[in-house]
A and B are shown apart, each in its own frame.
Chain A
């Protein structure tokens, strides 16, 4: 119900033209959906380009340079190319599952943006269970990866899908628990309330500056989020050297592009959540709120990209061991201690 100015203006405009109540609301929400979808698609394309530039410069290359100034429309041309490609469908596929897997992946990636506040009043719907909703819908991604693996009828794809399921289920636990620690601080599940709880006192009200629980929660969250987004230290599902390309090995053309873009939308999602939970959301002086939000989010994305181009990939058993034997006990201890401090009313 946020994005008030535009939404209410559009709603009133439609009311004034004599369209009945259900239709005016539906059209207004449709407008919101298209806006969010368009913004995110552009962001995802930008992130692909940015990742390639960062990867290049870390390795002392340039990255894309040929299409426009420093290759700025490289990913747009890639998308155009993928749209023109033949959609190859192997004969032994599971037809329905194969078809729906990229759709589920794409939709699940975009669903989280219902509750992510891009700025003051710049949120599609301020659900009172916002963060819980995000944890719920982002889990759809793993279903889509499993569907892609199964539907492809390919051993590499199936292995990738199974690995991804095991990984994401494992890392859901420490991620959810580290998010719970923040919820203990904020006392609310709503994304807007969590961001508002970090307002004021320059930056020292941010939840990351609540030692030691805030910083531990952030570190465990960012680790689990990297695994959730299937990014490099934890990109077991894709593992190019082992699994060719993992779950999406049989996909081509626009279906592949949907997986690819969803991956980068997920990257933005986990960074946006990190900003809202730990870095004060859109709050900041002078600049408009949405600029602050984007600046912080891109900083977190830069951190994740540095992870990707620095760390080598874990082995499957190491991955599981790390999740269950290290992250889960740490996050639980962190949560219990934070809850105890909060219950006792000790301030820090």
Chain B
């Protein structure tokens, strides 16, 4: 009965192939469909930007450059007169890069990452050397966990809020005190208006504070500067 058993085995094999015939193909039709790579897959090297300010997280410590086994990273950041590093050049040669991820591990500031993007082939090998602008642009929409200990970004976010509150308070203070000063110079009623003023400021301040916190991430550096100068002016005025 070996023949029947063999025959049965053949039928079994055909059932398996028949089942597979009915299944969906797992092929991804590449240019039309693209594979979503895993979050941790190591593709193109990018520089990460701060989530709020949009500035580079990089502190130019050059640890990644030293960690790189293939010398694919080149950083040129000479110190200026204040002994602060100024980023002159940050290049990653993707033709040299071996996608080991050691730079990512070396970085203490969540500044460099191997993103899960994989389409960066070029016609010319020289185009594989990316400068800082390209590295930053490609890295803008790359999600990452910010592991920086000091969180300077949070401080930067908090500072303008305080400043703004101060600013408005002092502006309110500054507008009236000038009148008051006049009054003071004219007549003698220093305590009453000041008390009412501060009370009014206390009432309005918390609401203004919240608003300031809400809107602070959208603030641009320019407005920050103007605000600071205004602050200085009022301080001077106060003084």
Which residue numbers of A lie inside 8 Å of B, CB to CB? Answer: 54, 56-62, 65, 306-307, 309-311, 326
Decide if A306 touches B17 in the complex (CB within 8 Å).
yes
Whether B29 and A57, one on each chain, are in contact in the complex, defined by CB atoms closer than 8 angstroms, is no
Question: Which residues of B from 1 to 44 have beta carbons under 8 Å from A?
Answer: 3, 10, 13-14, 16-18, 20-21, 23-27, 29
**Chain A residue at minimum C-beta to C-beta distance from B23:** A60
Q: Which residue of A lies closest to B20 (CB)?
A: A58
* Interchain CB contact under 8 A, A62 and B25: yes
Nearest A residue to B22, CB-CB: A57
Beyond A54-B21, A311-B13, 6 additional contacts (C-beta under 8 Å) are A58-B17, A60-B20, A60-B27, A62-B29, A310-B16, A310-B17
Specify which chain B residues have a CB less than 8 angstroms from the CB of A59 in the assembled complex: 20
CA A347 – CA B27 in complex, angstroms? Answer: 54
- B23 CB contacts on chain A under 8 angstroms: 57, 60
A306 to B18, CA, bound (A): 7
**Smallest CB–CB gap between B30 and chain A, Å?**
11
Residues from chain A with Cβ under 8 Å of B20 in the complex: 57-60
Chain B residue with minimal CB distance to A306? B14
Query: Which of A60, A65, A306, A309 is the one whose CB lies under 8 Å from B26?
Result: A60
| Partner-A contacts on B (CB < 8 A) | 3, 10, 13-14, 16-18, 20-21, 23-27, 29
A220–B25 alpha-carbon span in the complex (Å): 34
* A61-B27, A65-B29 known; A310 vs B21 contact (CB < 8 Å): no
Find out whether the CB atom of B17 lies under 8 angstroms from the CB atom of A309. Answer: yes
Return A331 CB to nearest CB of chain B, in Å.
Answer: 14
B21→A57 contact, CB < 8 A: yes
Q: Could you tell me if A56 and B25 are in contact, using CB atoms closer than 8 angstroms? A: yes
User: Contacts of B21 on A, CB cut-off 8 Å?
Assistant: 54, 57-58, 306
Considering only CB atoms, which chain B residue lies closest to A54 in the complex?
B21
Taking CB atoms, residues of chain B closer than 8 Å to A326 are 3
Contacts of A311 on B, CB cut-off 8 Å?
10, 13
The list of the 7 closest CB pairs from A to B, nearest first, reads: A310-B17, A310-B13, A62-B25, A60-B26, A58-B17, A62-B27, A58-B21
Q: Which of B10, B13, B18, B21 has the most CB of A within 10 A?
A: B21
A239 to B50 CA separation, bound complex (whole angstroms): 61
Can you give 17 A-B contacts (C-beta < 8 A)? A54-B21, A56-B25, A58-B17, A58-B21, A59-B20, A60-B20, A60-B23, A60-B24, A60-B25, A61-B27, A62-B25, A62-B27, A306-B17, A306-B18, A310-B14, A310-B17, A311-B13
A250 CB to closest chain B CB (Å) equals 33
Q: Which residues of A contact B24 (CB under 8 A)?
A: 60
